[in-house]
């Protein structure tokens, strides 16, 4: 396992991003954290540096849909820390409505944030990694990426399938180099996003989910279902589930 000291996490002010930041800080990593909500982000940075005085935590306000600023912020992080060893493309949006019901704006925003903005983050990270000739790109996709899903999940699943394919292509492009690419496919992990969704089956606690995410990232495998149980076995089921049952259980 390669030890990655300087880690960028986008969407780090809450949810999965915050949970990963806490675990990496406890392990002595330097963090570059960005999100739209700077109040929560700066409070997290103060808390982590107080708890772990040996680490550095730098922050930036960033709306990942401001693509030019993505490149600027990543370069600023690189300059402040000296290098970027790992970039976790985590910022995302979970809203959506059934296609054709008058909510194109919500569905467009979901696809733009989860796919187009993720492309900007991957571009910015890979420019730096290619210059350094090293780095680890982590793309947070979703279990939903495995198949087109109905109702409110249609645009979301499509965006996450797109970003998973994007990561696959980058991985093939840098194969044989010191640049690693990991695609995470989380199931349901307790966060603000899942909290807004109401009752969620097979929900992992934030503690268990965060631990599983960091373990998968540190393994630097090409792909990982998180947590492995039950989502790896369920991935086989989802691919062959008849459409009628798919609609009933999603």
For 30, list phi and psi in degrees, rounded to 5: -80, 140
Do residues 142 and 157 make contact, with C-beta atoms less than 8 angstroms apart? yes
Q: How far apart are CA 29 and CA 4, in angstroms?
A: 8
Element (H, E) at 64: none
Beta-carbon contacts of residue 216 (< 8 Å; ≥ 6 apart): 182, 184, 224, 226
Do residues 142 and 162 make contact, with C-beta atoms less than 8 angstroms apart? no
For 35, list phi and psi in degrees, rounded to 5: -170, 170
Catalytic residue among 3, 52, 103, 156: 156
Instruction: Say how many C-beta atoms besides its own lie within 10 A of residue 232's C-beta.
Output: 16
Residue 52 a catalytic site member? no
List, by residue number, the catalytic residues.
Answer: 156
């Amino acid at each position: 396992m390669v030890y990655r000291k300087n880690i960028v996490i986008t969407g780090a002010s809450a949810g999965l991003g915050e949970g990963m930041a806490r675990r990496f800080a406890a392990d002595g990593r330097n963090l570059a954290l960005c999100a739209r909500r700077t109040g929560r982000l700066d409070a997290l940075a103060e808390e982590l540096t107080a708890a772990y005085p040996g680490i550095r935590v730098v922050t930036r306000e960033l709306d990942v849909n401001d693509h030019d600023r993505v490149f600027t912020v990543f370069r600023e992080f690189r300059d402040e820390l000296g290098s970027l060893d790992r970039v976790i493309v985590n910022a995302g949006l979970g809203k959506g409505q059934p296609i054709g019901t008058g909510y194109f704006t919500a569905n467009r925003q979901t696809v733009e944030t989860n796919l187009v903005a993720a492309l900007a983050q991957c571009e910015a990270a890979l420019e730096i990694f290619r210059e350094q000739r090293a780095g680890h790109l982590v793309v947070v996709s979703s279990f939903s990426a495995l198949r087109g899903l109905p109702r409110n999940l249609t645009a979301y699943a499509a965006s996450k399938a797109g970003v998973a394919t994007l990561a696959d292509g980058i991985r093939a492009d840098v194969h044989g180099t010191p640049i690693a690419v990991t695609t995470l496919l989380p199931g349901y992990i307790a966060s603000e996003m899942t909290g807004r969704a109401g009752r969620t089956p097979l929900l992992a606690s934030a503690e268990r989910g965060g631990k599983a995410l960091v373990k998968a990232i540190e393994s630097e495998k090409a792909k990982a279902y998180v947590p492995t149980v039950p989502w790896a076995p369920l991935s086989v089921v989802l691919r062959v589930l008849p459409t009628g049952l798919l609609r009933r259980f999603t």
